[in-house]
Structure 1
Amino acid sequence: MSSVRAVPETELVSSDELSADDAWHAARHHGMGHLVRGAFVRFRYGDGFSHARAFAMQLALATVPLIIAGAGLANALGAESFAEVVARTVVVVSPGNNDALVADAVQGGSEEGSERAEVVVALGLATAFAAATSAFAQLERGANRIYGTKRDRPALRKYLRAALLTATAGVAMAVGLLLIVAGEPFGDALEDAYSWGDPVETVWDVARWPLGLAALLVAVTLLFRFAPRRRQPGPTWLALGASVTVLVWLVVSGLLALYVGVAPGFGDTYGPLTAVMALLLWANLTGMALLFGFALAAQLEAVRAQIPDPLLPDSDDDGIPDALDEHPESPSR
């Protein structure tokens, strides 16, 4: 249950959006360290950890069928070389001792014929889209609680918007993740399958980073702009929170990859479930990074509206905000 102050909707300036300069000026005026501390308090008491875990579960449920659907689509189209690229990429980025299991799951469709591949594509895409839609609907709930909004949109509007975000921000996020997280093995697989020359490989290695970062920034900005149930300021004002989200996400993803790769006994502990555990950890960190970015954007807007304290008042210190206390005349008041 959220116990944070509601962030008032910012009055829009004549250009219909607050500028990035306004956001940077507000951040410098109030101090970035103070702003980050307030954002963490807002994230914590807005139940950000719980909503991040719920988002992570749905995100993980969307990832595996999406990978299998990609390989099935390649097989259905008769693009065996591309199916091989998908298989090689998944095997390389999958940690632990289950490389053969993942490779069989991805490559199996090519041996069963085009009809089976079409079924795999249809089921995989439908499952992935439904899970991703549910994940973005959960992200709306988490963002609403962090902003202090008590109710989500009505169910139909909520899930229709989540479906639209899946088709836009979700696709941009998938492209960004492919370019940054799996860009190197994906490029190597393309080289093996299509015999790229060194110049093309060099261009790929250089271009995938800015393109991937741009795709992630676009995805996160779309989520910040359209997920919460409130009138948000313009995209340039939200750029600070979106940039911090992408930066934090890249750092924690890199640290997780380093931990999984070098931690003694990680693969031995989980065995065939190593990739599943790594996926769940990564999805949870992704949800935390997104919701912390929401908290930072919310706190920046709150301090601009002269509401620096993110918590609802609790005068008797019983853990229940005064506005929610069923005994407002308790002796401690």
Structure 2
Amino acid sequence: MEDNENHQPPSLIERIKHIIWRINDDDIFGRAAQLSYYFLLALFPLLLVLINLLGYFAQEGTGFRNQLITYLAAVIPSSAVSLIKTTLDEISNSSGSGKVSLGLLAALWAASNGMGAISQTLNTVYNVKETRSWWEVRLVSVVLTVALAVLIIAALAIVLYGGTIGDALAARFGFTDFFTTAWSILQWPIALGFVLGTFNLIYNFAPNLSRSQRRWFTLGAVVAVALWLLISFGFRLYLHYFDSYSVTYGSLGALIVLMLWFYLTGVAILIGGEVNCEADERCRRDIEERTRAENKASAS
């Protein structure tokens, strides 16, 4: 009878308890602090990649940069946005046109370091060992960074130029005003779909998972995006009413705010990974076997 009970799938409450226990056991908050450091190092190279790529295709890099900063301000605290804008202006002013190609490759390589850090931490979350070579991990990190840039560009293009795209489609195919109205509403869910696709790519290919463990759609991506948006807007609201970082840290306040936002972003990503592991029977079984082995070792 006990065996039958052991083979019954855990209830929702039990799954939530498992996730909370593993968040503590895997030191998610400590690993998120590690991610925040790599995110900071990768931020400006990634933004330069985005600005140069979309600016190249749209032929309006400066205008796109200003619009990008505007939309970042909707999520990132204002003091951190000011720091990002100032730094990007300084980098752009000190870079000549002849350095763009080489600088873009260097920026891509630097931005992939953040993805490499995500790979290491998600391996721990999924309880898998890294069997790929250094070059394989680096190649995956670079490819994921490019894919991340493409998906972000697609999402931003829909948000920034959604009206123009809708009008062009309506004129090209002779759609009515109903299509234009529907498109103005649907462009936001579509952009959100690109963001979910970005998280799904990270969860499927950043850690060293087998093909059987990969899913086109993961619950963890939904949880991570929802948690990230909730944390971001909550953090902005807190800073709006209780902004004490500038008083405590002075001129470093903006950097501290940006680091803290990166930290909370890392927490959301790793918690999403824990949700995916709990939803995956093989991953959950491996965790349970490891826990039993550790308990036996400590008892003996």
- TM surpasses 0.5: yes
Number of the residue aligned with 2:41: 61
Match of 1:37 among 9, 12, 17: 17
Letter matched to residue 247 of structure 1: A
Cα distance in 2 for partners of 1:144, 1:74 equals 32
Q: Which runs of 5+ in 2 are unaligned?
A: 1-7, 165-176
Q: 1:174–1:139: structure 2 CA closer, same or farther, 3 Å change rule?
A: farther
Q: CA deviation at 1:259?
A: 2.0
Aligned residues: 275
Match of 2:145 among 166, 175, 186: 166
Cα distance in 2 for partners of 1:122, 1:204 equals 39
Cα distance in 2 for partners of 1:51, 1:222 equals 20
Tell me the C-alpha RMSD between the 2 structures.
4.1
1:92-241 matched pairs, under 5 angstroms: 93=73, 95-96=77-78, 103=85, 105-107=87-89, 116-119=96-99, 122-123=102-103, 125-173=104-152, 176=155, 178=156, 206-233=185-212, 236=215, 238-241=217-220
Q: 1:91–1:249: structure 2 CA closer, same or farther, 3 Å change rule?
A: closer
Cα distance in 1 for partners of 2:291, 2:152 equals 32
Cα distance in 2 for partners of 1:99, 1:242 equals 25
Does the Cα contact within 8 Å between 2:220 and 2:275 map onto a contact in 1? yes
Cα distance in 1 for partners of 2:128, 2:214 equals 20
Cα distance in 2 for partners of 1:62, 1:252 equals 21
Number of the residue aligned with 2:223: 244
Q: 1:258–1:205: structure 2 CA closer, same or farther, 3 Å change rule?
A: farther
Whether 1:291 and 2:251 are equivalent positions in the alignment is no
Does the Cα contact within 8 Å between 2:41 and 2:110 map onto a contact in 1? yes
Cα distance in 2 for partners of 1:41, 1:126 equals 41
Does the Cα contact within 8 Å between 1:165 and 1:223 map onto a contact in 2? yes
Cα distance in 1 for partners of 2:9, 2:107 equals 43
Does the Cα contact within 8 Å between 2:55 and 2:64 map onto a contact in 1? no
Q: 1:205–1:237: structure 2 CA closer, same or farther, 3 Å change rule?
A: closer
Does the Cα contact within 8 Å between 1:224 and 1:238 map onto a contact in 2? no
Letter matched to residue 33 of structure 1: I
- Percent pairwise identity: 23
Letter matched to residue 41 of structure 1: W
Structure possessing the higher relative contact order (Cα contacts under 8 Å, 6 or more residues apart): 1
Normalised by the length of structure 1, the TM-score is 0.65
